[in-house]
Amino acid sequence: MRPQPWSLTAGILVMLLLILPAAAAESGGHEQIIYISSYGSSYIWNQEIEAGIEAAIADSEYTHVELSIEYLDTKVINDATHFENLYQTFAHKYKTASPDVIITSDDSALIFMDEYGDQLFPDVPVVFTGVNNMSNLPKAGENTAFYTGTLVAVPLQETVDMIRGINPETNVIYVILDNTYTGRAIRTQIDEQTTGYTDTITFLYPETGADISAIRADLADLPETAAIVIITYYLTDQDLTPYHIDEISAELSAASPVPVYSTSSMFNDRGVVGGVQVSPYDLGYDAGTQAIWVLEEAPIRETGPVIYTAEGASIFDYTEMQRFGIQESALPEGSTIINRPPDFITVDRGVAVGVTAVALILGILVLLLIVQNVALTKTRALLTKNEHLYRSVVESQTEMITRFRIDGTIIYINPAYGRYFGLDADAVKGMKFRIRVHESDRERVKAHFAALCAGAAHQIIEQRIILNDGSIRWHRWDDHAISGKDGKVTEYQSVGMDITERKEAEQKIQDSLQEKTVLLQEVHHRVKNNLAVVSSMLEMQAMKEEETDPYVAARIREAEGRIRSMAAVHEELYRSDSFGAIDAESHFERLAHDIISTFPDAAKVSLRVKAENCTITLDKAIPVSLIINELLTNAMKYAFAGQTEGIIAIQMQCDCAKTVLIVSDNGVGFPDGFEPEETASLGIRMVKTFVDYQLDGSYEITTGPDGTSWTIWFPPDTR
């Protein structure tokens, strides 16, 4: 029959219930360790060893172990009776106890156990530490227990070498030792370690039984090349009152002119520079670890003692190094430095991380700022270069440049402005300065700036100013208005120049022009008058001839009419504003009226003139007027014969291509067979000559019973 699964599981559970309590009792039951110290509870050496033992237990799987501590106080009392008394006390105290491991520290405790261990704790393994004298180890066969532990060789030699490394001049070393059993044991070690320095270093020691005052006196006499090594664990004052361990090194160090070193870390932070040191804490931790090993391995006596040797470590006090000017570089490699001013990271890691992050951000920001600064520097350099360029351009200008507020406060003037008005370009900044405007120009200048305030971007004005010496100068200013954010004008920027010479030249030209105008006017007036004189003379001659030969008189009056026509042109020119041309329509009206009015039948003739927007120049006005004179004279003489009324029309059309003059009448037309081209009439031949030669034009004649019309084309004036 095969077993069922549930019955197998139940069997396993029962077995576990039987086994587990036994296993728990075996591995975690009631192990006990008794730690026996050679000294008192207040002794810092002890406290460090205890802390080390407790730390080792805490770090192991035997955290439940009971640790009992006994103090032999052999620094206070150390004789056979004391040990006997202690034995009696322990025998009574631990009568029923069964410790698993005994830990002893220092030589006295080990000696005590060697003497009484078999009786107090038979076969209980012993772990020793801090033993200076190897002869104190139990001899084989003297007891039944298993012994293991750590010997401590005072690392004086290493410390001396280190002192010489720091100060090669060192030739005296004062070693402070007490006269206890331990002190004496250590002295033996020192003597062995210092044999090699006989020629270079003198080792001095306090006299036997010297109290602390005697030692201070010794220290005061030490040379500058000396060093002190403190090793002792027990000193008294003059009253033989024991010094507290904490006070010994501090007081001696304070009294010492030379550095105080130590081979034990227990003096650290108490006035000792440092040294190659044995740490009581490390001794305690090693002892605890060894005790746990004993609990686990349960070694038997026959395996013999397992002995370890403590190793020193280079430890220094930063404060004392500073006191004696010892550089960190002079210390052995790998040295530990205590009391160094804590750096930030050590003080608070969280804050340090935060600060590091902030520092990184700040670093990035600084980097960005540097990059930006570089860019800004380049930009600034470019701006400076451009500023120099523009400034040199502005300041080399011969034109005056200024910028000023509306109240006249100067913001900037260029050197040309300063030179002109006798101002210091730098000193005048911020001062008010106004140009004295000539009284006659003040209203204009006021209107000029009013226009700028009203929104004109810039205005140009030519004005007169009065200088300090009273002289009047002409200026031309190009003023720009500069507005603030609210649109109101706040400043003006002006560029100006002295134009007095130009103005004077202009005035001369104007005066000259005026003079010539007057002269030209006078010329026309004189020509007209002369022609009037000629005309008058001809009229007088005609009047004279009329009595004897009317035909001659008539011919003279025809000539007179031609003279008057020419005079009419000069009359118009004399009266016109422009001497270059005359208005055709008004001239034709006046001319035609004068011509017609000389005839007896003038009243029956109507005159129509149309020459809108036509002007004619002097060189064409004379031939045109003479043509009109001839054609109107002919019309008045022949066209209206037998008619009671008639019309004479003068039209002129002007465009850019040609000028057309039409002179017509509604008279009887040319008589049959009359050919104008072949006639010997002086007047008609003169008309043809004027058209051909002086007008460079052409003409066409239409004639019939309804009248005659002359159409004349000639090129327009090119002036």
Partner 1 sequence: MDEDEKQRSVGIVEDEGMIAMLLRELLTREGFNVVCTVKTGREAVDCVRDNNPDIMLMDINLNDDMNGIEAATRIREFSDIPIIFLTAYTDARTKERAEGVRPYAFLTKPINKQMLITTLTQGITG
CA torsion, ordered 33, 37, 43, 48, to nearest 10 deg: -40
Which of 464, 528 has the CB closer to partner 1? 528
Residue 540 binds partner 1 (CB under 8 A): yes
* Alpha carbon distances (Å) from 241 to 31, 36, 219, 238: 40, 25, 21, 7
DSSP per-residue codes, 461-519: EEEEEE-TTS-EEEEEEEEEEEE-TTS-EEEEEEEEEE-HHHHHHHHHHHHHHHHHHHH
Single out the residue of 537, 554, 641, 682 in contact with partner 1 (rule: CB under 8 A). 537
Residue 533 binds partner 1 (CB under 8 A): yes
Residue 575 binds partner 1 (CB under 8 A): yes
Using CB under 8 A, which of the segments 140-148, 505-513, 590-598, 703-711 binds partner 1?
590-598
Residue 402 binds partner 1 (CB under 8 A): no
Residue 543 binds partner 1 (CB under 8 A): yes
Using CB under 8 A, which of the segments 41-49, 127-135, 477-485, 562-570 binds partner 1?
562-570
Q: Given strand 172-176, what is the order of strands in its sheet?
A: 202-204, 172-176, 226-230, 260-262, 274-277, 313-317, 336-338
Which of 561, 697 has the CB closer to partner 1? 561
Which of 401, 532 has the CB closer to partner 1? 532
Residue 628 binds partner 1 (CB under 8 A): no
Q: How far apart are CB 464 and partner 1 at their closest, in Å?
A: 31
Helix 245-255 to helix 212-220 angle, to the nearest 10 degrees? 20
The interface with partner 1 within residues 214-243 (CB under 8 A) comprises none
Single out the residue of 32, 409, 598, 653 in contact with partner 1 (rule: CB under 8 A). 598
Collapsing DSSP to helix, strand or coil, 172 comes out as strand
Using CB under 8 A, which of the segments 513-521, 532-540, 642-650, 685-693 binds partner 1?
532-540
Q: How far apart are CB 599 and partner 1 at their closest, in Å?
A: 9
Residue 567 binds partner 1 (CB under 8 A): yes
Residue 571 binds partner 1 (CB under 8 A): yes
8 A C-beta contact, residue 575 and residue 564: no
Residue 162 one-letter amino acid: M
Q: Which residue do the tokens 């306090």 mark?
A: 206
Residue 535 binds partner 1 (CB under 8 A): yes
Rg, C-alpha atoms of the chain: 70
Which of 167, 576 has the CB closer to partner 1? 576
Single out the residue of 204, 482, 532, 552 in contact with partner 1 (rule: CB under 8 A). 532
Which of 499, 534 has the CB closer to partner 1? 534
Cα–Cα–Cα angle for 233, 155, 322, rounded to 5 degrees: 80
DSSP category for residue 341: P
DSSP category for residue 440: G
Single out the residue of 90, 234, 267, 574 in contact with partner 1 (rule: CB under 8 A). 574
Q: How far apart are CB 641 and partner 1 at their closest, in Å?
A: 20
Residue 320 one-letter amino acid: E
Residue 247 binds partner 1 (CB under 8 A): no
Single out the residue of 246, 539, 583, 589 in contact with partner 1 (rule: CB under 8 A). 539
DSSP category for residue 604: G
Which helix (DSSP H) or strand (DSSP E) does residue 619 occupy? Answer: helix 618-634
Which helix (DSSP H) or strand (DSSP E) does residue 178 occupy? Answer: none
Residues making contact with partner 1 (CB under 8 A): 525, 528-529, 532-533, 535-537, 539-540, 543, 564, 567-568, 571, 574-575, 594, 597-598
